[in-house]
Amino acid sequence: MAMGTTTVIEDGILVYQKSIGVAKLPKSKPDSNTQYRIGSISKTYTSTVILQMIEEGKISLNTTIGRYFKDIPNANRITIEHLLYHRSGLFNLTEEDGFSKWIQKPRFREDILAKIKNNGTNFDPGLKKEYANTNYILLSYIAEDVDNMAFEKVLQTRIFTPLRLERTNFGGQLNPSSNQALSYYRKGNVWERIPKETYLNATMGAGGIVSTSKEVAFFYHSLFSGKLLTKESLKLMTTPKDEMGMGISVVSYNGLIIYGHDGGIDGYTSIAFYIPELKLATCMTFNASTENMTETAIQFLQNFMSSNTSR
């Protein structure tokens, strides 16, 4: 069981969109403009702006983070490339005991950096891949310093405005009176509201974006259509190390290469992916689900491709 919205864009054309369930109980229905917290899909947006800055010569993959964060362990050995590929060795901040409760209140750059410093490292930079939200929080701070503006404005200037993503924004609190879905969990035979609300601004580029299913799918289409990065940068982004590109996963399914990312925050689950061979961009955003997101996406993809073949 699930509630949410699914969108498919094929070669730039919206070919499928469906919403199920409710955006807000008891009976507020989701539609194409309903916003969801997309969690870690935000990382694809963050890696995009970092690669744009590399194209512009403002930073490089070899830039060490010591230029920006002198007090973080191994700062003079950890590079931007390490952060992009989750190979920095820094402790995953969101795994700290009590962190999910701590981040429900307003937390700012100095608060987050102090925690990153105090939690230290798990291994030497470059030794292996270990997924850590810490990496993309730091990348968004670097983006702020490079462009000399808040990360919200970085995203707005570099991605949201150029692509005319009018229902996509960074941070902010839930607004029950707007067309934002609230999240729920299943308790017996009923859906119950999830009371927890992360202070999104503190998650930065690791998980702070709010958007619609359609606009996330359009972002993925635009990214792979060359509207945001050069061919060289896109190839760099999608070149995997241990099945992980830069802010994007790289997997193979039924002979097809699929690029994408999933997300989960405060009971919201989502997944976005692009299949170059089919020029297919898909996004599924749920505000309630009892299913595994990856399995749900695979099942949907199978059904969609089967129905297309039979037409």
What is the C-alpha separation between 30 and 102, in angstroms, rounded?
Answer: 30
What is the C-alpha separation between 310 and 308, in angstroms, rounded?
Answer: 5
pLDDT tens per residue across span 88-100: 999 999 999 999 9
Instruction: Say whether pLDDT at 228 is over 80.
Output: yes
Q: Which two tokens stand for residue 215?
A: 């606009």
What is the C-alpha separation between 252 and 298, in angstroms, rounded?
Answer: 12
If you search the block for the tokens 């230290």, which residue do you land on?
120
Q: Helix, strand, or coil here: 142?
A: helix
What is the C-alpha separation between 204 and 113, in angstroms, rounded?
Answer: 12
Fold classification of 2-310 is: Beta-lactamase (3.40.710)
The separation between the first and the last C-alpha atoms of the chain, rounded to the nearest angstrom, is 28
pLDDT tens per residue across span 271-291: 999 999 999 999 999 999 877
Of the pLDDT bands very low, low, confident and very high (cuts 50, 70, 90), residue 118 is: very high
Strands (E), 167-298: 169-170, 184-187, 190-193, 209-211, 249-253, 256-265, 268-275, 280-289
Query: What mean pLDDT is reported for the chain?
Result: 94
261 bridge partner residues:
272
Region 253-258 average pLDDT: 91
In the prediction, which pLDDT does 311 show?
A: 46
Distance of CA 118 to the CA centre of its chain: 26
Of the pLDDT bands very low, low, confident and very high (cuts 50, 70, 90), residue 256 is: very high
